[in-house]
Structure formats: C-alpha cells, structure tokens
Amino acid sequence: MDKGRQIGFLGWLKRGILAECLLVTLFTAVFIVQKRGSAARESASGNVLTIENDYIKWVDFTVSYEALCKAYEWDVKTHGTEHEINWVELLAYTAARTGGTFDNNALKIMEKAAKTLSDGDKTIEEMTSDMKYYSYYEEAYDAAVGGLVGEYQAEGKPAYGLKGYFPLAQGFDYTHYDDFGVSRSYGYKRQHLGHDMMGLVGTPIIAVESGVVEALGWNQYGGWRIGIRSFDGKRYYYYAHLRQNYPYAEGLEEGSIVTAGDVIGYMGHTGYSTKENVNNIEITHLHWGLQLIFDESQKEGNNEIWIDVYPLTRFLAKHTQAAAKVEGTKEWRRTTDIVDPAVEEYEAGRAGETKLPLEEN
C-alpha cells in the first residue's frame, strides 16, 4: 500500500472508531435516562418543567398579574353559562402555547382562546388534545391557585368569585416589591423564598385561604410564625416575623381550622435568633410564602417547592378583609364573615359524616 492510500485508510479507520464511540455513548445515555424513570422536561424562555416518578418535582410559577386578572375575569364572566371557562385551565393552555411565558403576546393568545371557548366553538379538551405539556401546567397551576376561586356565601347570599384574601387587613399601609430569590445570609447563605410586605407593628394578618393550622410557634429564621395547609394538601401558606409578645389571634393553635379572611396574627419583626420572642429583624414586615406539595416527601428538606407570590399578592388586592379592634384587648376581628363550602366539607369529613342525596318523593 503506497503512503497516500495508507494515510487515507488510517483516516477512515479513525472516523469509524469515533462514530462507534459516539453511538456507544448515546445508547448509554438513553439507558441511564430509562433507568431513572419517566421524566418530562421542556426548556422555554428559561422555564423548566419537571415531572418524575408520577409527581411534579419543580414549578417555576411565572404567571403575571395581568394574566391572573384576565383569566379570572373570563372565569367569573362565564360562570353559570353554557360554556364556562375555568381560569386554571385557561392559564395552563396559554402556558402550554408559550412555554410558560406571560408577555403581551401570551395575553393575546389567552384572549383568543377564551373567545373560542365562551362561544362554544371548541372545548378545552379539543384545544389541548395535542399539547404535550398542558397536563403539567394544569396540575401545577391548580396546585398554586386552585383553591382561590369558587362558590361561597357572603352575608347569607350565595356568591361566586375570588374567595382567597389579601394577606393584610384592609386599610393598613404597606410597601412591597418583588424580592423573591434575593440572597439571605443569616444562618447560612440562601435564597429568599417568600414575599415581604413592610408595614406597622400590630397590622392584622389575614388568612389567604381556608385551611388547617399545621405549624405554630418559634422558628429562628421566621420568628413567631404560622403555617396553614389547604384542605387538599397542595398548598402550605407560611406567615412569619409576627409581633413580639402577642403574635397570634386569640385561640389559634395547631389543628385549628381557619376560614379565608380570618385574622390569624399580627405583623412584627421577630426572628433571626435561637432564643424565642426576640426582635432581631430590622424592618417590621410580614414574610408570607407559598409552598406547593405534590408528594409528602416534598414538605421538608431539599425538595421543597416555593413560588414567587408577588404577582399573586397584587391580584389578591382585589379582595381585602376589613378588621375591627376588639375593645379593651389587642385583638382584631374580621368585619364580614363568609361561609366557605371547603370548610364545611372538611369538617364533615373529619367528623366521619357523609352527605347523602335527598330521597326522591
């Protein structure tokens, strides 16, 4: 074999060996993915979807204030009509179309979809039948905001709409900005996984959603704090840095059932201390956070899912609860009661009761 042919043959042989190595690497990677279980991932506009082992592992809740308002308006507008729109489904459809981005173009997509649905031209099932990630977004968004809109009674009259409440009592001054994810250094370097609302000591704190008090007491990071779990178990509301000496509403304890709009505590600046009842937070504020739970293994530890609630806080400002001072005490009480069917259902279930259909005459 002459020298030119020898060089050509060696080049061909090297390329063949390289191709074989690449194929082996590819098949190995596929095998590893299969061994780790089913997973669905999409990266779009910086958003990552993760569904593994039959439950969601991560949610990047990027729904804008404007999108929340528009979807909610369509839900209320069509409630009771032949073609009702569920705001969670509308948000999920939009996210599946845009990869979780909610810019002006997304709002136009949402508006067009809502018009199609409300006119009865198509159903949500028909519109999403070929959308790979719609079911992910629908489950994720239902976990985030699914308990905030529905039927309830106000002043003895049936109502439908926003039954979740703004976390501060009506008329109390506050300031806030989107501070989710900023750095914190007390104890250890970490991200801020909640939303801070600056105000005055003693400002009444309002339960955003009905649920069960799951945690109450001192935490060195959050000071006096309250943790309330939604009845469906998907949402854990965290209220921290409550008032020194008088942090909680009278009678509140672990296991208490609260109704959305109840006064549950009072703003302060406790925390950043292993010693109880210490004001080591410089600025008086409420830290409130929302944790999503798809599996109980996510409740505590490295797998916790906390979402940015700044847009949601702005949205909840549509529904505030006034509070009145209880004469001669430090207590404040809500001024308008509601009846939340979710509370009644939970209490009936806890008592072992079952609702039977009425007998036909």
Whole-angstrom distance, CA of residue 20 vs CA of residue 330: 77
Contacts (Cβ under 8 Å, ≥6 apart) of 34: none
Cβ–Cβ under 8 Å, residues 192 and 180:
yes
Q: What is the pTM of this model?
A: 0.83
CB burial of residue 131 (10 Å; 0-12, 13-18, 19+) = middle
Q: What is the pLDDT of residue 189?
A: 65
Cβ–Cβ under 8 Å, residues 58 and 140:
no
Taking the domains of the chain in order of start, what are their residue ranges? Answer: 41-146, 175-349
CATH class given for the domain over 175-349: mainly beta
Q: What is the pLDDT of residue 73?
A: 98
Per-residue pLDDT of 69-103, as tens digits, reads 999 999 999 999 999 999 999 999 999 999 999 99
Cβ–Cβ under 8 Å, residues 233 and 320:
no
Residue 215: DSSP 8-state: E
Three-state DSSP state, 279: strand
Contacts (Cβ under 8 Å, ≥6 apart) of 30: none
Q: How many residues does the chain have?
A: 361
Strand-pair category, 223-230 with 157-162:
unpaired
Average pLDDT, the chain: 87
Q: What is Dmax (Cα atoms) for the chain?
A: 107
Contacts (Cβ under 8 Å, ≥6 apart) of 50: 39, 40, 41, 56, 57, 58
Q: What is the pLDDT of residue 104?
A: 97
Q: What is the pLDDT of residue 192?
A: 77
Q: What is the pLDDT of residue 275?
A: 97
Share of the chain above pLDDT 90, in %: 76
Per-residue pLDDT of 14-62, as tens digits, reads 455 444 444 444 444 333 333 333 333 333 334 445 555 689 999 999 9
Low-confidence ranges of the chain (pLDDT < 70): 1-53, 185-190, 353-361
Whole-angstrom distance, CA of residue 240 vs CA of residue 194: 10
Q: What is the pLDDT of residue 7?
A: 41
307 closest CA partner among 72, 56, 41, 45 = 56
Q: What is the pLDDT of residue 355?
A: 52
Q: What is the pLDDT of residue 319?
A: 97
